[in-house]
Structures are given as structure tokens and as C-alpha cells.
Amino acid sequence: MSRDWPLWEIFVRSENGLAHKHVGSLHAADAQMALQNARDLYTRRNEGVSIWVVKSSDITATDPAESDAFFEPSEDKTYRHATFYRVPDGVKHL
């Protein structure tokens, strides 16, 4: 058996004005081949106008086991949301 080609994560922009979105992954020998394979695999039906490929091993991600602690600081700050504030009756455009 051969050695696996590296794994690439694929991001597709479906139309100008929208952000690239992760759609899946694939194997390819290099970035150019990853782009061509991504076109054939993820945009066979006009799903995209632009593709990014990133080597999976180059992505740094948060650790799910630590996510409670990691995201905790934003949990108890309800005053950061507009809905926290009561709007007095009759006040408009607020």
C-alpha cells in the first residue's frame, strides 16, 4: 500500500458576497491538485465561485474537552446583548 497523500480541508464561496464555508476534505499530493479535486468533488453543480484549500495539519483548533472553560467568559455577560435592556414604554428608534 502507498502512503496516503496529505489531507486538505476544503472551503467554498458559493457566491460573491458570502464567506467561504467548510464543505469537507479530500486527499491530494499538492495544493494545485487539491484545488482541482475540490472543483470536481464539491462544485459539480455550480456550488461555488471560489475555493480555498488548507492542509488539515495546518489548522489549529480549540480542544472540545476544554471548551466549557474556554468559552465560559462570554456566558454570564448578558449585558452585552441589546435584549438585556428594558426599553421604556413609548420610546422609539432604540
Partner 1 sequence: MYTSISDGIVEGRGDEREEAFNERLDRSIKVEPDDWMPEAYRKTLVRQISQHAHSEIVGMLPEGNWITRAPSLLRKLILLAKVQDEAGHGLYLYSAAETLGTSRDDMVEALLTGKAKYSSIFNYPTLTWADVGAIGWLVDGAAIINQIPLTRCSYGPYARAMVRICKEESFHQRQGFDVMWKLAHGTPEQHAMAQDALDRWWWPSVMMFGPPDSASPHNAQSMRWKIKLFTNDELRQKFIDQTVPQAEQLGLKIPDPDLRWNEETQHYEIGPIDWEEFYRVVKGDGPCNRERMQTRNDAWNDGAWVREAAAAYAEKHAAKERAV
Nearer to partner 1, 72 or 89 (CB): 72
C-alpha to C-alpha distance for 31 and 54, rounded to whole angstroms: 8
**Side by side, which strands form the sheet with 21-27?**
21-27, 7-13, 50-55
The residue among 54, 50, 43 whose CA lies nearest residue 17 is 50
- Tell the smallest beta-carbon distance from residue 12 to partner 1 (Å): 12
The count of residues interacting with partner 1 (CB under 8 A) is: 25
Nearer to partner 1, 7 or 87 (CB): 7
- Burial class of residue 47 in the structure, from the number of CB atoms within 10 Å of its CB (0-12 exposed, 13-18 middle, 19+ buried): middle
Determine which residue in the list 16, 63, 74, 84 makes contact with partner 1, applying CB under 8 A: 63
Is 25 among the residues that bind partner 1 (CB under 8 A)? yes
- Residues engaged in binding partner 1 (CB under 8 A): 1-5, 7, 9, 24-27, 29-30, 33, 40-41, 44-45, 56-57, 59, 61, 63-65
